[in-house]
C-alpha cells in the first residue's frame, strides 16, 4: 500500500481513505475505513469516465449486478455511488496479496495450493454464472490469496449475460491481454465459457510462474490467444489436463466451472482451505499485512477529496471562486476532526493563510453573476503525473446531465490551487483588451502582424484549466512554446488531471496574427485511449503578462487556461 499523495482524496462517501492499494485502466483502489471501523477497498474510476454517459450506464448496471454476487470466494460489494461526480464502489477488504504479486515475489505456487485456488475460483464462477452474469476479467491481479481461501474480486466490468445491447464502444475489447478468451478478442458473443478460459490461464500462471501465452506486446498476446496453443510444458498431471481443457479455443468444448470444482476438490474447496492451503511464506506475509492494517493511523481527518452533499443540494453552477495565488500556504486539516459528510448549508467557505473570511468573487464576473446561492465546483488540480503517465482527458461525452450531477458536489479545499482568473474571455482573442505598452506582450510598434512567433510567447507556461464555460476545473495545463514556422511544431501541452494522470497534445503552428497564435492540436501517439485524439484548433492569446489557451474541442467541454510563465 502506498501513502496518499497531496492531491489525492482523503475521504470518499462515508469512508476515510488510509492509503492507495493500486491502480488500473478503470481507476484507482484505496484502502478505506468506515465510521464504525470496518475496513474496505474503495475503487474510484478515472475522472474522464465520469463524463461518459455510456460508461455511467454500464457502471450503474454492473454495480447492481455485483451486489447480487455474495457467495463464497468473492469479495462482496458493500456500498457504491454510480451517480457521484466520480463514481466509486466499495467492497470488503481482505488482507492478502494478489496472485500476481505473490507469484512475482515468490515464484510458482505449490501444486496443492493451485488445486485449492482452482477449486475456489471455479465455485465462485459457478455462483456468478447462476446469476446470469459473466465476470469477463478473471486474471491474476483480480485474485486475492487470503488465509481463508482465494477471493475473486473486481466485478467492475462484468455485465448481464442476457443483455441485448453492448455498452462498450465498437471495436473495443474488455479484458486483459493474455487472459481474454478468443471470442472476447474477436468481439463474438461472450458467455460463462470465457471466464473458464481465463481460469485456465490463471491456473497455468500460478503453476508455472508465467502466463501460458507469453509475449512482449498486447498485439502479440492477442494473436497467440486466437491462433496458437498455450505453452504448458512446465505443467504436468491433472492440473495440466484441467488447464488444457479450459484453454480450448472452442467455447462449447470447455468444461463448466461446477465440473472443474468437483474435479479439483470433490469434497469442496472449504475443506481443503480449512486444512491449510497457503505455503508458509505466504501465511507469514498475510499475517504481517493484517498487523500493519491494525496499526494504521486511526485519527479522523477532514475529507479533502470529493465530498458528496445531500440530494437536496442540487443547484446550478456558479462561477468558480478566485483563489489565492501561487506561494500561499494552505494549512492542513486539524487532527481529530470529524469525517462526517457535511450538508451543503454546513460547508464553510475555504480558508487560506492570509485570505479574507469570505471567498472573493471572480474578478471579471459582472454583478448579476455574483449573486449568492450558486454552487461553485472546484477540483484540486495541482498533481504530478501518475504511474506510467497515463492521464485522462476531460470527457468522452460532455452532457447537461453530467453538469447537473456535478452541481450536487463541492470538492474539498485541502490543496493549493492556482487562481482561475480570466473569467469568460472570448476564445477568439480578438476581443481581448490590448495589453499596455509596458507589458511583456506589447505588440509591434508599426502595427503590422509578425511573420514568426514573437519572443513574448516563448518559454514554459503553467496554469489551471477549466471546461464547460469555466464551471469545471480539469487539472493543470503546462505548455512549452518554441520558435516555429507555419506547419511546424509549435510546442506541447501536458494536461495533468486530478488523479495525477497526463495527456499530451502536440501543437502545430497554423498562423500568427497581431493578437494571437493559432495552432492545430493533436494528441500525442503515446497517449492512451482516455485522451482525445481528434485534431482541433487552439488559440494562444496574451492577457497582461499571462498567456491564455483556448480550445474549440467540444468533446472536452472547450477547455481554457490562463497560464503564467514559469521558465
Annotated binding site for ATP: 43
Instruction: Check if the beta carbon of residue 396 is closer than 8 Å to that of residue 535.
Output: no
Instruction: Check if the beta carbon of residue 41 is closer than 8 Å to that of residue 30.
Output: yes
**d(Cα 444, Cα 437) in Å, to the nearest integer?**
10
Residues annotated in a binding site: 43
DSSP structure string for 103-168:
HHHH-SPPHHHHHHHHHHHHHHHHHHHHTTEE-----GGGEEEETTEEEE---TT-EETT-SS--S
Q: Is 137 in the active site? A: yes
**d(Cα 93, Cα 148) in Å, to the nearest integer?**
13
Residue whose cell numbers read 469525517: 339
What are the grid coordinates assigned to 269, written together? 474447496
What are the grid coordinates assigned to 488, written together? 511546424
Burial of residue 236 (number of CB atoms within 10 Å: 0-12, 13-18, 19+): exposed
Entry field: residues in the chain:
567
What are the grid coordinates assigned to 242, written together? 484441467
Q: Of 306, 302, 301, 303, which is closest to residue 499 (Cα–Cα)?
A: 306
Three-state SS sequence of 474-509: EEEEEEEECCCCCCCEEEEEEEECCCCCEEEEEEEE
Which of 137, 195, 505, 532 is labelled catalytic? Answer: 137
**d(Cα 157, Cα 198) in Å, to the nearest integer?**
14
Could you tell me the maximum CA-CA distance found in the chain, to the nearest angstrom? Answer: 92
**d(Cα 507, Cα 538) in Å, to the nearest integer?**
8
Indicate the SS3 state at residue 321: coil
Q: Of 9, 7, 70, which is closest to residue 42 (Cα–Cα)?
A: 9
E-only strand ranges, 386-471: 409-411, 459-467
Q: Which residues are catalytic?
A: 137
Amino acid at each position: 500500500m502506498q501513502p496518499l499523495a497531496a492531491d489525492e482524496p482523503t475521504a470518499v462517501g462515508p469512508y476515510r481513505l488510509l492509503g492507495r492499494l493500486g491502480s488500473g485502466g478503470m481507476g484507482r483502489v484505496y484502502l478505506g475505513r468506515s465510521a464504525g471501523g470496518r475496513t474496505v477497498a474503495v475503487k474510484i474510476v478515472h475522472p474522464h469516465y465520469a463524463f461518459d454517459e455510456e460508461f455511467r450506464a454500464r457502471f450503474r448496471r454492473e454495480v447492481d449486478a455485483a451486489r447480487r454476487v455474495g457467495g463464497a470466494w468473492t469479495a462482496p460489494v458493500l456500498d457504491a455511488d454510480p451517480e457521484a461526480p466520480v463514481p466509486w464502489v466499495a467492497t470488503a477488504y481482505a488482507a492478502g496479496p494478489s496472485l500476481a504479486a505473490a507469484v512475482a515475489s515468490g515464484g510458482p505456487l505449490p501444486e496443492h495450493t493451485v488445486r485449492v485456488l482452482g477449486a475456489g475460483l471455479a465455485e465462485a464462477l459457478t455462483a456468478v454464472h447462476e446469476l446470469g452474469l459473466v465476470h469477463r476479467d478473471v486474471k491474476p491481479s483480480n485474485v486475492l490469496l487470503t488465509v481463508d481461501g482465494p477471493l475473486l474480486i473486481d466485478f467492475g466490468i462484468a455485465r448481464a449475460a442476457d443483455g441485448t445491447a453492448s455498452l462498450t464502444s465498437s471495436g473495443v475489447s474488455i479484458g486483459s491481454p493474455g487472459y481474454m478468451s478468443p471470442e472476447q478478442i474477436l468481439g463474438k458473443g461472450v458467455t460463462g465459457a470465457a471466464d473458464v478460459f481465463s481460469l485456465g490461464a490463471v491456473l497455468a500462471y500460478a503453476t508455472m510462474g508465467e502466463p501460458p501465452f507469453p509475449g512482449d506486446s498486447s498485439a502479440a498476446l492477442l494473436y497467440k490467444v486466437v491462433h496458437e496453443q498455450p505453452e504448458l510444458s512446465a505443467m504436468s498431471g491433472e492440473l495440466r489436463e484441467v488447464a488444457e481443457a479450459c484453454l480450448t479455443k472452442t467455447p462449447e468444448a470447455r468444461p463448466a466451472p461446477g465440473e472443474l470444482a468437483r474435479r479439483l476438490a470433490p469434497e469442496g474447496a472449504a475443506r481443503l482451505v480449512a486444512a491449510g492451503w497457503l505455503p508458509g511464506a505466504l501465511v507469514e506475509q498475510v499475517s504481517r499485512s493484517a498487523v500493519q492494517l491494525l496499526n494504521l493511523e486511526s485519527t479522523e481527518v477532514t475529507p479533502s477529496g470529493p465530498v458528496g452533499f445531500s440530494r437536496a443540494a442540487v443547484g446550478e453552477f456558479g462561477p468558480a471562486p478566485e483563489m489565492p495565488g501561487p506561494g500561499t500556504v494552505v494549512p492542513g486539516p486539524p487532527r481529530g476532526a470529524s469525517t462526517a459528510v457535511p450538508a451543503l448549508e454546513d460547508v464553510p467557505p475555504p480558508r487560506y493563510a492570509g485570505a479574507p473570511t469570505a471567498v472573493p468573487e471572480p474578478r471579471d464576473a459582472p454583478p448579476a453573476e455574483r449573486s449568492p446561492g450558486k454552487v461553485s465546483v472546484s477540483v484540486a488540480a495541482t498533481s504530478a503525473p501518475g504511474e506510467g503517465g497515463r492521464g485522462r482527458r476531460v470527457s468522452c461525452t460532455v452532457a447537461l446531465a453530467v453538469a447537473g450531477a456535478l452541481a450536487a458536489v463541492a470538492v474539498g479545499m485541502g490543496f493549493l490551487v492556482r487562481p482561475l482568473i480570466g473569467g469568460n474571455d472570448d476564445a477568439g482573442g480578438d476581443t481581448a483588451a490590448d495589453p499596455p505598452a509596458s507589458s511583456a506582450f506589447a505588440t509591434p510598434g508599426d502595427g503590422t502582424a509578425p511573420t514568426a512567433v514573437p519572443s513574448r510567447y516563448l518559454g514554459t507556461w503553467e496554469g489551471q484549466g477549466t471546461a464547460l464555460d469555466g464551471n469545471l476545473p480539469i487539472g493543470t495545463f503546462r505548455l512549452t512554446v518554441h520558435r516555429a514556422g507555419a506547419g511546424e511544431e509549435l510546442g506541447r501541452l501536458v494536461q495533468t488531471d486530478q488523479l495525477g494522470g497526463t495527456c499530451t497534445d502536440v501543437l502545430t503552428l497554423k498562423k500568427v496574427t497581431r493578437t494571437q497564435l493559432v495552432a492545430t492540436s493533436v494528441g500525442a501517439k503515446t497517449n492512451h485511449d482516455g485522451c482525445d485524439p481528434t485534431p482541433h484548433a487552439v488559440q494562444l492569446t496574451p492577457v497582461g503578462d499571462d498567456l491564455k489557451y483556448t480550445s474549440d474541442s467540444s468533446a472536452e467541454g472547450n477547455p481554457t487556461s490562463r497560464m503564467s510563465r514559469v521558465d
